[in-house]
Structure 1
Amino acid sequence: MRRAGMAGAGAGMVSIAGCGGQNDDGTTTQGTTGSSDGSGGSGVADDSFANYVTANPTNWQFNHFNFTQPFSHPMQTDMLQRWVISTNEFSDYAVSIDEFDGQNERAVLSVRDGLTWHNGDPGDPVTGEDLMAWFVCHAAVNSTVAGLYNANDIEVTGDRQIELPLDGSVNESIFRQSLNNFWLNVPYHRYGEYVERFMDATSDEERNSVRTDLRSASFDEPFGNGPFKFVSRSSNRLRMELYEHHPDADQINFDYWDVIRASTDTASVVLGMAPEGDIDMVRNFTPPQSVLSQAKQNDGILTNQIPALWGQALPFNCGHEDFGNIRVRQAIAELIDRDLVSRNYGEFGVPVQAPSGLVGNINGQNEQTDRWTRWVTDEGEEQLHRYQNPERGRRLLREEGYTKQGGKWMRPDGTQLSMPIKVPSGYTDWHPIYQTISSLLTDEGIDSEVKMIDSTSYYPNHYLEGNYVTAATGWTLGRDNPWYTFGQWFRPLADKVYKMNFKPTEVEVPPVGEPDGELQSVDVLQLFQNVRNASEENLQEAITEFAWVANQFIPMLPILEINDTAWMTSDDWNWEPAKDDAAWQAKWPQWWFPRMGLMNGKSN
């Protein structure tokens, strides 16, 4: 999703990807930065690095499991690990995997030595109890990662260590990927109440109650363990200062990190960043070509492209009287020209070739690629349906009792088939995607309109409540193993699948290789088990089986896959690695480089 967001937010993270209108950390401010005389207080040209947001910081609360305006900054808390996408290399960071035995169903993990909370000078050590709380709370909210372990049997085995019992055998690469894009941001002293209640729960009703309370809790006071510590906030700025007790604080030569509220017109923000702007960074913005061309002429602006490992999708409300029908969803998929939609999105996106949750449709040069086929067998790749046949779509509608009269598709009850699409208003670079879809369907005779929803309420009040007919979101979680996409689409939450309103036991698809064949029930939970438990040698076969189900059931239709563009100023800041260095390919360089000593303020 747009924000590891919601994958991120949905997974208890700050975000996974960001687009025009808002940044992933949920922040905002506008005003002066640096020392009062305009020069860096520590001998650098600018003593405050500032990232961009559009929301009012005074409206934020600090429980990131609550999707109502949460705030948890990536420089205020530490990520569990670092993953370089281009090389598939993992580095331990806030947490290390000391032992992993997938077949014997156990893993041992430790918190980084010297990591402390921002509640003193120095604060309390981050402990094994805090790490236990992280895993328990993610189980409480039913994050995809929680499907890999038994939360109730976690043991704190040392001051900084836990033993994590796996829920059956687990593929090691899946486990490693499960820790990506997460921060160590669940202090026991803040979340202990929910941890203990969940551990003591003896029924689904009690566990659901914990989930509800954790999702709705609002924390007034910030917390963290990262290199920058919260100082203050106003309606236009949240300020953090360097936390000298962080293990990597000596890599950083500036004193403040500001989160600045600025215009919702992200294009004007990025073009104004240098040489005199207050903003130094927009984590991710996909610009129109005109903006990109202007930015390239500004020597003080630096851009870099990173594989998004996601793209935009059209989720269906599978409880809807029309779109709860698999054949109607398939018909809509046939009628949408993904190639046209991608062209209208811009140069940073390409169409998904075979909608099935397989990432790898785009390369770093914004060109179509078939890297997605590495996840499935050759036969499985050929069998996946491409959804490029509008005539099949029309036939499917007729077979389900819909008729076309006077250029309009009519439902069996005589009313026109209608498909409104809810879209977050602030995600401006998404808008051409869904406007194109709406236009295509309107031309076909289906009543379709884009309904803009305020961005702050879109996910908590609409998408995550299943309050839509069709909607806008991302189609995977910013990880490339399909197990995570399948998790976003099919993993059950209580008695229904998260977001799309169908039960796992209701999934029916035609036989493999026969898109028009008779529907048959499939065991989704067993498919999850097969992928999770597979050895590396058998993983492709297990994914092939699940990919067919995703391809046919399509609870959401993947439209395109994108590259992300990071924006930084370089007039006052040094960014050391060459642009082709693999260091740029870990999300996100703006968060990692200061910690690694690869970004610092230039001398005054």
Structure 2
Amino acid sequence: MTKDNKGGTAGGLSRRGLVKVLGTTGIASALAGCGGRRAASDNGGGGGGGGGSTDTALTFAQWAVPQDSQYNPWNSKNFAEPRRMLWDRFMRYNIAEQKFYPYAISDWTFDNDSATLTVRDSLSWHDGTPVSATDVVNQLKLDMYTGGSLRQYVDGVAAAVTKQDEKTVEITLNQRLNEQILLSYLQPKRLVAKDSVYGEYVKRADDAGGEEARSKVISELQTTAITDPVGNGPFKFEDADTQRTLLTKYEDHPDAGNINFPNMEYLYMPTNQKRWNALINDRTDGSATLFMPANKLKQLPDHTHVGLIPRHWGLGLVFNFRNEHLAKPEVRKALAYVIDRKAVAKNSGAGTDSKLPVEYPSGLTGQFSGAIEDRWLKGVADTFEKYQPDPAKATELLESAGYAKEDGTWKDGSGAALQLDISAPAGFTDWVAGAKTVTSQLSSFGIKSQLNAQDTSTYWGKVYTNHEFTIGLQGWADYDNSYPYFHFDFLFSSTDSNDYWKVPERFEVPPLSDPSGEPRSVTPGELVTTLTESSGEAALKQIQELAWITNQTLPVLPLQEKLAQTFLTSDDWNVPPADSEKIQLYWPTEWLPRTGDWTAKQG
């Protein structure tokens, strides 16, 4: 993303919208049949360890046809799941602890407007060449050239990222940046950009005479398919056919000693239903994340454990601020008092524990861990409005805004019925279930409301981006990020909020220190920008201020917070308990084998 796009992607579709379109409509056709769970043991496949183990291949699923998959991360077409074990991420992040741990980057230091990164010793590519600082420079530069979030914090990519020695990289920023924000940008990156493969693109982009010339280089990169990848992770690419990708253990990886099985395999399973059945029938050993409804969960073997991992994200109602009714804060607040978020979470969770009702509509995530009251709103939580269902308060708010209830229907000053319909992506069945609950509750209160569920691609590509909705559905936070800056940036400074919802730049809000005092004019977007440079107590106060503004203005109405289901099997494998903090990672299937917490049982 570029700064100008404020979180959007080329073509105007937001990053969150694009993820949803690709995730729902970019999936291949039905599975024709695939090898069994222990198929790799019949194929040799190399690798040490695993002697006497009851299972010699850790087996997962992949969306794309294996032999059609490719491994260039800057080409989104058919970028396949085996990437999780082929390359190492920069760092590891434990969600429960909210703490970063070294990985491919073994050390880092910060000095106001610069950062120094050190490459892990003994980390090598699968062809035996050492991973170097040049490879890290390549990774950072290509991410920035292709619109990565760090681009907005450097003045020029070519000069901003430099190799200091064979193992050290320096990033020069154009401002002081909160360490938590910078680490959040760096941590998820996989170190893919081997110099012999990607170095030419970096050099050409650095040397390009202008944006047009550079765009041609990047376009070429983004259309290049790599089918024979050279990784640096604990498993290396062996082969792929129509049904399976086979990886074999890379004995020279620094963490190879933690792994006692020789193979990993990814079976072609392009639908949720096939993945459900594979877990039920013991054809796969787990799944990073997969939503499974209650009726399917009941069919799982006892040795399949279901863990819950917070996504720091969930279903929200977004308002079209061009609508004369929704532009009024009294109406948005009235809706919050009408809607029973517990019922929405229950119905959208399909009988599972994967959806929690939002307790504090404030832009803050972490309801499941107590982080909101205990950390972000410590000392001020009681000041915030929870908007528990209260028809009397909703009535008072609507009447104060000039509406009246006649014959059971709310009407505006002209006598027209208050009609607030909800548009939804039909393919998001859990969201649709939640939206049905909302329309029912609004209608019962006397606000006319119906659900308009459109084809998923039509919703994201047209209805949502062209603000052709009254109330729409969208995630209300920046998923997989726990630090509040990212959520407030989305709510007040993103393409979604600015271009699709038309959220105003300024609001009138009473001060947090005196909630009954005279409202004052605030500009949340400016406060978000200030937060990027703040740390410690100053940052906490700014977070509380932004949470208060969100709570009082409701640019979106957060309904539920999602917990992702993750699956681990223990019949042939040693795995942590489902409630262990060890699985609070994105994702256990790629981290636990590396740390020695997912090993084969010995026969």
1:113 has 2:113 as partner = no
Q: Could you state the TM-score of these two structures normalised by the residue count of structure 1?
A: 0.77
Paired position in structure 1 for 2:343: 340
Report SS of the residue matched to 2:540: helix
CA distance in 1, matches of 2:491, 2:30: 29
Task: Provide the C-alpha distance between the structure 2 equivalents of 1:447 and 1:215, rounded to a whole number of angstroms.
Answer: 48
CA distance in 2 between partners of 1:208 and 1:558 (Å): 43
2:279 to 273, 280, 288: 273
Q: Distance in 2 between matches of 1:498 and 1:340?
A: 30
Three-state SS of the structure 1 residue aligned to 2:490 is helix
SS in 2 for 1:533: coil
Distance in 2 between the 1:438 and 1:544 partners?
32
Which one is further off, 154-163 or 37-46? 37-46
Report SS of the residue matched to 2:343.
helix
C-alpha separation between the residues in 2 aligned to 1:130 and 1:465?
Answer: 40
Q: 1:114 to 1:466 in 2, by over 3 A?
A: farther
Q: Deviations over 1:387-438 (max 9, x none)?
A: 334555566566767776765667879687343332362x554443233223
Q: Could you say which residue in structure 1 is the equivalent of 2:175? A: 168
The answer to whether structure 1 residue 301 and structure 2 residue 304 are counterparts is yes
Tell me by how many angstroms 1:253 deviates.
3.5
Give, in whole Å, the separation in 2 of the partners of 1:130 and 1:27.
38
Matched residues, number: 571
Are 1:583 and 2:586 counterparts? no
What is the correspondence of 1:314-353 to structure 2 with a 5 Å cutoff? 314-318=317-321, 328-344=331-347, 345=349, 346-353=352-359
1:22·1:54 contact (CA, 8 Å) conserved in 2?
no
- 1:445 correspondence with 2:447: yes
After TM superposition, give the deviation of residue 50 of structure 1 in Å: 2.2
- Quickly say closer, same or farther: Cα 1:281–1:216, change in 2 above 3 A: same
Retained in 1: the 8 A contact 2:307–2:579? no
Q: CA deviation at 1:252?
A: 2.8
**Residue from 104, 108, 112 that aligns with 1:98:** 108
| 8 Å Cα contact 1:239/1:257 also seen in 2 | yes
Q: 1:578 to 1:405 in 2, by over 3 A?
A: closer
Q: How does 1:352-371 map to 2 (within 5 A)?
A: 352-363=358-369, 369=370, 371=372
- Which residues in structure 2 correspond to 1:188-207 (within 5 Å)? 189-190=197-198, 193=201, 197=205, 206=211
1: CA distance between counterparts of 2:219 and 2:361? 34
Deviates more, 1:67-76 or 1:564-573: 67-76
Secondary structure, aligned partner of 1:169? coil
In 2: Cα distance, 1:562 partner to 1:488 partner: 17
Residues of 1 paired with 2:319 and 2:146: CA distance? Answer: 22
1:541 alignment partner AA: K
Instruction: Tell me how far apart the structure 2 counterparts of residues 434 and 46 of structure 1 sit (CA, whole Å).
Output: 44
Alignment of 1:224-239 (within 5 A): 224-233=231-240, 236-239=243-246
The answer to whether the 8 A contact 2:35-2:244 is kept is no
1:247 equivalent in structure 2: 254
**SS of residue matched to 2:368:** coil
Which of 59, 76, 90 matches 1:80? 90
Deviation string, structure 1 residues 127-164 (Cα, Å, up to 9, x no partner): 43443344344445655555555553222222342211
2:312 & 2:594 partners in 1: Cα distance?
A: 24
Separation in 2, partners of 1:520, 1:36? 66
| Secondary structure, counterpart of 2:543 in structure 1 | helix
Contact 2:201–2:221, Cα closer than 8 Å, also in 1: no
8 Å contact 1:78–1:226 — kept in the other structure? yes
Q: What is the rounded CA distance, in whole Å, between the counterparts of 1:191 and 1:473 in structure 2? A: 37
Q: Alpha-carbon deviation of 1:547?
A: 1.4
**In structure 2, distance between residues paired with 1:451 and 1:94:** 44
The answer to whether the 8 A contact 1:316-1:500 is kept is no
Change in Cα spacing, 1:552 to 1:569, as seen in structure 2 (3 Å) is same
User: CA-to-partner distance for each residue in 1:332-372, whole Å, 9 max, x for gaps?
Assistant: 43432212212322433322122112122114xxxxx4744
Q: Is the 8 A contact 1:111 1:126 kept in 2?
A: yes
Structure 2: unaligned runs, 5 residues or longer: 1-6
Aligned to 2:384: 384
Quote the residue 1:366 is aligned against.
Answer: none
Please give the alpha-carbon distance, in whole angstroms, between the structure 2 residues aligned to 1:138 and 1:36: 35
Partner of 1:528: 528
Hey, what's the Cα distance between the residues in 2 that align with 1:310 and 1:168?
Answer: 28
Q: What residue in structure 2 maps to residue 506 of structure 1?
A: 505
Aligned-residue offset at 1:522: 3.2
SS at match of 1:303: strand
RMSD of Structure 2 on Structure 1 (CA)? 4.7
* Secondary structure, aligned partner of 1:484: helix
What is the match of residue 487 of structure 1?
A: 489
Larger Rg: 2
Structure 1 residue 311 displacement after superposition: 2.9
SS of match in other structure, 1:378: coil
**For structure 1, which segment, 515-524 or 339-348, has the greater mean C-alpha deviation from structure 2 after superposition?**
515-524
TM-aligned CA deviation for residue 285 of structure 1: 3.7
Structure 2 distance, partners of 1:401, 1:46, is 69
The equivalent residue for 1:221 is 226
Whole-angstrom CA distance in 2 between matches of 1:53 and 1:96: 30
Distance across 2 between alignment mates of 1:199 and 1:372: 51
Q: Deviations over 1:15-54 (max 9, x none)?
A: 99x99x8999x99895114447759766543333222355
Q: Secondary structure of the residue that 1:538 maps to in structure 2?
A: helix
1:259 aligns with 2:288: no
Shifted more, 277-286 versus 382-391: the winner is 382-391
> What amino acid is the match of 1:105?
D
Q: Once the 2 structures are TM-superposed, how far is the Cα of residue 527 of structure 1 from its aligned partner?
A: 1.1
TM-superposition CA deviations, 1:559-579 (whole Å, max 9, x none)? 12243332122222232x466
1:551 — aligned with what? Answer: 551
Q: Where does residue 4 of structure 2 map in the other structure?
A: none
- How far 1:485 sits from its partner (Å)? 1.3
Query: What CA deviation, in whole Å up to 9, does each residue of 1:528-569 have, x standing for no partner?
Result: 243233231322211111212333443432212243332122
Q: Is the 8 Å Cα contact of residues 144 and 484 (structure 1) preserved in structure 2? A: no
2:207 and 2:494 map into 1 onto residues whose CA distance is 20
In 1, the alpha carbon distance for the partners of 2:395 and 2:315 equals: 24
2:561 partner SS:
strand
